[in-house]
A and B are shown apart, each in its own frame.
Chain A
Amino acid sequence: MIVFWIVAALMTAAACLAVILPFLRPQASLETGHDVEVYRDQLAEIDRDLARRAISPAEADEAKAEIGRRILRAAENRPGGTERADSSLTRIAATLAILLVPVLGLGGYLYLGSPAIPDQALAARLDANPSTNSVEELIARAERHLVENPQDGRGWDVLAPIYLRVGRAEDAVIAFRNTISLNGPNAAREAGLGDALFQLAGNVVTAESREAFERALGLDGANPKARFFLALALAQQGDTESAAGRWRALFDDLPQDSPWRGTIVQALERVHGAPAPQPGSGPSAEEIEAAADMTQEDRAAMIEGMVAQLAERMRDNPDDVAGWQRLIRSYSVLGRADDARAALQSGVEGLGAESSAAQELIGFAAGLGIALPESR
């Protein structure tokens, strides 16, 4: 920063110097009659041409006569003595000019510039201590390394899932293909490729994506990702029944701590018409996993308990639209239409009957086929 301001001050001083310069030098005299000088040069030129025999003497005489005529004309036009300048006006103009440079220059810069932002050359940023790098910078660092060593299979293997996680599906596809060709196929890589192709196609299991999952399954029949997505492919083709069946089978095969269980619960919920629970507002992952291990009755009991808990909470926070929606949806999924209607009524009252939030809630309930008990 200090260095910058010193340089800035020097630059401004140099710019001012350019303005003051004429006042530091002895005053040059005002010359006039440049025409005559040019013509004099021309006369000399004719003499030179004549000496080189480039023109004949007759032509030279004629050209000289022409120049002579022009010199006479120029001499007539020459202005008389120039006025001496008003020295006070000169001083004012010069002072204003010298003031203008730092005021407009530095002032303008302070208004437009960002002196606090340092240069950020990419190479320097990437060479900095990795712990200070952002995820993006770490990725860029790995990319740079891979541009120089495109045959580094391990690098691609590490980078590919990271691309997938930060949503760079296209780069993930390339990275998975590279790691497969360099390190050979395994279930995780093929499934990752399938996932990347799925994301690239806008969350659709395309034929290309399905083939990748099938290859993964061929390498490891238990690969949960491949099994999940192949079921999803069925669901996306409209065969939700088989899809749900496969998901349930996968659910049962998975160990308790598998993160796939939550995903499956959400997927099942989605194919059965109910939107997936909002992150952070629905049951926690542990609860879902716990639910997965229970018998049908236990599970139902647990869900009932959770719904009761939610109903309790809504009584204390009646202005939470999302909460009311969740409660109404839960009752509706459980088949308790009366409770759903009651919850709708409580919600509308809690939110204020005429409020837009209440109207929103009524519209939401109508989507589930739930209406208020009496017409208003």
Chain B
Amino acid sequence: MTVEIGHLALVLAFALAVVQATVPMLGARLGDARLMAMAAPTAMAGFALVTLSFCSLVAAYVTSDFSVANVWQNSHSLKPMLYKVTGTWGNHEGSMLLWVLILVLFGALVAMFSSNLPATLRANVIAVQGWIGAAFLLFILATSNPFVRLDPAPIEGRDLNPILQDIGLAVHPPLLYLGYVGFSISFSFAVAALIEGRIDAAWARWVRPWVLAAWVFLTGGIAMGSYWAYYELGWGGFWFWDPVENASFMPWLAGTALLHSALVMERRSALKIWTVLLAVLTFSLSLLGTFLVRSGVLTSVHAFATDPARGVFILIILGIFIGGALTLFALRASELKAGGIFQPISREGALVLNNLFLSTATATVLIGTLYPLVIEALTGDKISVGAPFFNLTFGLLMVPLLVIVPFGPLLAWKRGDLSAVSQRLFAALGIGLAIALVSLVFIDRVSVFAALGCGLAAWLIAGSVTDLAFKSGYPKVGAAVAIRRLMGLPGAAFGTVFAHAGLGVTLLGLVSVTALEVEKFVTMKPGETLDVAGLVLNFDGMMPLRGANFVEDQARFSIAGADGKSLGEIVSAKRVYTARRMPTTEAGIRTFGFSQLYVSVGDPTEDGGIVVRVWWKPNVTLIWLGAVVMMVGGVFSLADRRLRIGAPAARRRQSERPA
């Protein structure tokens, strides 16, 4: 009965979404308070119904109810409980249901906390949210229904793709979807503003926290996905410029731009039109990502099933929402009033520059992702736009952006003083150059690229700290006063510092790994040793083991320092999942400081040895730790719920009002 209740709840949620999408909008048009008031209760009830539906699907997975086709295709009764639960969204149908669950969750949150919004804006926002919900609920019910039943029910399921049987599946998709779908809020706000033809202070005050929250989740989701690929796929890469990765990266870049332009809009009422366009584009890129991943256009671990009907359906949704929003934008954008004016050298100017770089970078990634698909569709030729293209174009765009990052927060609103800011950044510049020099001389004499990269990373981190120091008035007041003031600084100030410093940390990790990685590719017999980056790896032998739903051959290695001191053990394994007869490689990873030793075993050789790939990855964890630091920055900024005015500082007097 629970399965069928879940199914009914899903259909009812669709019916409610249709009401939510139409009636409040009509109410806003007619100025009827009661019709507009329908928005919030339908959104909340819709959320309750989808939650019920999702829970009933989880229950079917937990109890291995193979009369549900989706469970039969993607679960196995012997699978560990965690993977039974996470397997719910480890497939096309279930992941779409999770997508919609998060969508209606955001819709309900808006409904719950928006009582101080103008009534018509509130009704329109929730109605647009209802449109998206209705479209995707219809998509699920029509092409991807997870509640299709089997009668008679099979006795055993086909198991989940072994690559997905990992804790990563519990974290990566929900985080990523919170990010993707979180941008639907700013989209709904933008479309509602375009429908109303006006944008007021409440708009910006409302949109920024949602963008920030979505950005924090998306940052976490991408970083988690990257780390998962790094340890699960067994060949030590963390970013492949794979179209599916790009699909998540593009909304992140556009969302980062949106975050900064919303800042300008909130403080200075400037960049209104541009912010609205970015809000539309960011969610459009999220939808495009969903289309690329779910339509079967791309082959990857994310494309669970390829069904042309689904692709066409999502393409139609994509066309209606992106096309509709952009048409609305073209019709209405000119009616929006442009806001405050500013000089090129100012905080606003720096943020505009940031937006230019980020949107160009987004466009670059978009071209690199879509170009091969278009070529294949037109000519049938398969071409690959790989890392070299992205490193050259995207990398070139990022370097100047990263160089100017520390300037932004130090510039004043409306009119800034570049030379004063440059003076303040002297120390940071010195640190950056010193680090570059040190890494060139002492660590790697060959690679100028690595030295400059390390220098740039140090410049970013030192620049962020400089910002914090000046905001607490450090050189002028004494250290004691500065520390007291530092404590009193608002969350947003820390948010900026952490986000920008996190960028530097990630960059440091990227540069270290790219330039200084050591890779060994050898055949080892039990008892043989291998020297890697000052460590001695001793192959102890193979050991067969049996897991709940797999068998594996573990290769065990003991690690010793150069002085012979034992540093523990590292285990890599060849695994075969019995239900699908699918082999996987489980990499062995040991962390030393920020660096990692990564061991991945290959096939056995005829003379009793085994192929072993070993990497020494210096500072590799900084890549993801940097993302965590960025997320912390986002959370700080989110926790800061002050009202922001952004009044300009008078000339010849430095503002102490924190940014």
Binding site for B on A (CB under 8 A): 3-4, 7-8, 11-12, 14-15, 17-19, 21-23, 25, 27-32, 34-35, 37-39, 41-42, 45-46, 49, 52, 54-56, 58-59, 62-63, 65-67, 70, 74, 77, 82-86, 89-90, 93-94, 97, 100-106, 108-109, 112-115, 117-125, 134, 136-137, 139-140, 144, 147
Contact = CB atoms under 8 A, between A and B. Distances in A.
A66 B2 CA distance: 58
Contacts of B647: 59, 62-63, 65-67
B4 A54 contact: no
Interface in B1-39: 1-5, 7-9, 11-12, 14-16, 18-19, 22-23, 26-27, 30-35, 37-38
15 contacts: A18-B16, A28-B33, A30-B31, A58-B650, A59-B649, A93-B35, A104-B18, A105-B11, A105-B16, A112-B11, A117-B3, A118-B1, A119-B63, A120-B67, A137-B155
Contacts of B154: 136
A108 B11 contact: yes
Contacts of B147: 112-113
B445 interface: no
A134 B155 CA distance: 9
A7 B656 CA distance: 61
B487 interface: no
Given A11-B8, A100-B15, A105-B12, A35 B656 contact: no
B590 interface: no
Contact of A114 (B19, B45, B151): B151
B200 interface: yes
Interface in B195-230: 198, 200-202, 205
Interface string B37-62: 11001101110010000000000100
Contacts of A104: 11, 14-15, 18
Given A104-B15, A105-B16, 19 more contacts: A38-B201, A42-B645, A46-B645, A54-B657, A56-B656, A65-B647, A85-B30, A90-B34, A90-B35, A101-B12, A101-B16, A106-B11, A109-B7, A114-B4, A118-B1, A119-B1, A119-B67, A120-B67, A123-B63
Interface of B: 1-5, 7-9, 11-12, 14-16, 18-19, 22-23, 26-27, 30-35, 37-38, 41-42, 44-46, 49, 60, 63-67, 77-78, 116-119, 141, 145, 147, 149, 151, 153-156, 198, 200-202, 205, 269, 488, 642-643, 645, 647-650, 653, 655-658
Contact of B7 (A54, A56, A102, A112): A112
A75 to B, nearest CB: 12
A27 B155 contact: no
Secondary structure of the A contact surface, majority rule: helix
A18 B41 contact: yes
B42 A35 contact: no
A122 B59 CA distance: 12
A125 to B, nearest CB: 8
A101 B15 contact: yes
B645 A93 contact: no
B643 A140 contact: no
Contact of A4 (B1, B23, B49, B201): B1
A90 B650 contact: no
Given A45-B642, A55-B657, A120-B67, A109 B8 contact: yes
Contact of B155 (A8, A18, A140): A140
B49 A15 contact: yes
A212 to B, nearest CB: 21
A15 to B, nearest CB: 5
Most buried by B among A3, A74, A77, A101: A101
B26 A93 contact: yes
B23 A31 contact: no
Most buried by B among A3, A67, A103, A118: A118
Contact of A67 (B19, B22, B645): B645
Nearest to B153: A120
Nearest to B9: A11
A105 B8 contact: yes
Contacts of B643: 38, 41-42, 45
A123 B84 CA distance: 14
Contacts of A65: 647
Given A11-B8, A115-B4, A38 B205 contact: yes
A97 B32 CA distance: 15
A367 to B, nearest CB: 38
Contact of A21 (B14, B41, B155, B198): B41
B37 A28 contact: yes
B201 A22 contact: no
A82 B49 CA distance: 35
Contacts of B22: 97
Contacts of B156: 140
Nearest to B75: A122
Given A39-B201, A59-B649, A105-B12, A122 B5 contact: no
A58 B656 CA distance: 12
A117 B15 contact: no
Nearest to A53: B488
Contact of A94 (B15, B35, B153): B35
Nearest to B644: A42
Given A31-B118, A56-B656, A12 B141 contact: no
A23 B34 contact: yes
Contacts of A4: 1, 4-5
Given A18-B44, A117-B151, A63 B645 contact: yes
Contacts of B3: 117, 119
B42 A19 contact: yes
Contacts of A22: 33-35, 37-38, 41
B67 A74 contact: no
A59 B45 contact: no
Contact of B64 (A30, A31, A77, A121): A121
A105 B45 CA distance: 13
Contacts of B655: 59
B7 A34 contact: no
Nearest to B12: A105
Nearest to A65: B647
B201 to A, nearest CB: 5
Contacts of A134: 155
Nearest to A28: B33
A70 B269 contact: yes
Contact of B41 (A19, A106, A115): A19
Contact of A18 (B45, B149, B649): B45
Most buried by B among A63, A106, A109, A120: A120
Contact of B63 (A7, A70, A121, A140): A121
Most buried by A among B27, B202, B647: B647
B38 A19 contact: yes
B657 A85 contact: no
B35 A105 contact: no
A24 B283 CA distance: 36
A27 B31 CA distance: 13
B119 A30 contact: yes
A65 B648 CA distance: 11
B32 A90 contact: yes
A137 B46 CA distance: 39
A231 to B, nearest CB: 32
A77 B118 CA distance: 14
B30 A27 contact: no
Nearest to B32: A85
Contacts of B202: 34-35, 38
B15 A114 contact: no
A113 B8 contact: yes
Given A34-B116, A54-B488, A90 B151 contact: no
Contact of A74 (B4, B201, B642): B201
Contacts of B153: 120, 125
A93 B23 contact: yes
Contacts of B658: 54
A67 B201 CA distance: 11
Contacts of B26: 93
Given A18-B41, A89-B30, A104-B14, A112 B141 contact: yes
